[in-house]
Structure 1
Amino acid sequence: DQSVYDRELEKKAGPLYGWAGTVTGGASFVQSTQHGGTFSAGVKLVRTIPTVPYLPTRNRTIFSLSETYGKLTTPLIPQTTPASPDSVVKTSIFHTDLERDQYVSKRFYYLGTTAFDHNFSSGLDLQQIYGAGVGWTPVLDAKQQLDIKGDLHYEKQEFEDPASNQNLIGASIGEAYKRTLPRSMIFTQTLQLLPAFNEPKAYSANFSTGLAMPVFKKLSMSIAASDAFLNNPSPGFKKNTFQFITGVAYTLP
């Protein structure tokens, strides 16, 4: 019909049209001498225009957001008089990114990207990345897709210790792989290397992998592992942050 024709072929797709992806959540709680909890949430969305697979892709938008937050409170045992303050352990790891791909052929595209990170476990208050580059899809069929991407970017890092703050000119080199397995299971994996040109020691890397297993209609069980490496954390913090998360995922739309 006319409205679908306009959206798919005449470049009139609205900002909310064509999005698909998953929303994931998980939590754990402790209520005893120690008390607290950990929450994890994530959103992964992709919009490809046109949305029908038999027309050549014109553009693609990728958005992701994840947050892991936790706090565990432990009293001093045995108690002293006057009572000593409780010990509090905090976790806060946040990431979000947005990528826009503009295709020049079936397998090649230009891209613009931005990303924001906060990692209490590395002493990183905020990392901002703004870049542009190119992408290539060497593998594309009904079951799997592999994208290889590279960009040049500006990167700003703000740490718990302001003396560690950095303004960097660097690059991102990475890949993203997705495969549909038997029984409609979906496997995903990404790897990203981020060298810095003006400060060689300030390099970083990110790796993630996940598996979604359908349970009931649009509900799936999600298993994911990720590792964030930061070579220049704030003093006293470790370079690696590893996470293993299980949760429930809901497929959109």
Structure 2
Amino acid sequence: MTLWEAVAVLLAGFAGGALNTAVGSGTLVTFPVLLATGLPPVTATVSNALGLIPGSVSGAYAYRRELAGQRRLLIPLCASAAAGGLVGAGLLMVLPPGVFATVVPVLVGLALLLIAVQPLLTRALRGRLTRPGGGLPLRIGLGLASVYGGYFSAGQGILYVALSGALLEAPLQRINALKNVLVAQVNAVAAGFFLIAADIDWPAALLIAAGATAGAPVGARAAQRLRPVALRVLILTVGTAGLLHMTLG
């Protein structure tokens, strides 16, 4: 890796950490930059997942006020996310790289649709599927979304926000805080698996980690100042740009 490539990876980590904390989809910034440095796709995915962990933890800490009082909710959701993330990491090691290529845009597109109609959907489902703790439907949904997150993390945060917004009775900022913890959980579980089973480019992972750790609080502060409607519009804008990048790009 040249000096300029290292600078590009560091800046991509900063932008990815800020985006992940604010809305999700930071991998759509970091992953292409890692590929541009010459890393194979699987190595780039593994190094990216490992590098983004400190940023996810930093982002979760920045949202500690919104996380207050949610420990009982987080424990079962984190368990579901960890199980899904481990399965996804295993799939990355055994499946051909193109298997999820057609599935990823569909999942992200569905998540964006759910976020767009979330206020209407929540009102329609209130008292039917929505529960104060999300219930079994949310745990199952987050577990399945975490399979994707462990395999390839681009857009996983948007999936978490969409599912939680539809099935959980909570304000959007608190849902965003939960999302940051779940992303950190899945990345940590996947990275633990990758440490044993995959090749990691440590310079790239460390540069992503440094940038993401610095960028995450910046993204958190920006997102926390937004009203729910503005935050939803920002998520939809970033997610749509990422979706177009994946399908056209």
TM-score (norm 1): 0.27
Structure of greater relative contact order (alpha carbons < 8 Å, 6+ residues apart): 2
Where is the strand percentage greater, Structure 1 or Structure 2?
1
TM-score (norm 2): 0.27
Bigger-Rg structure (1/2): 1
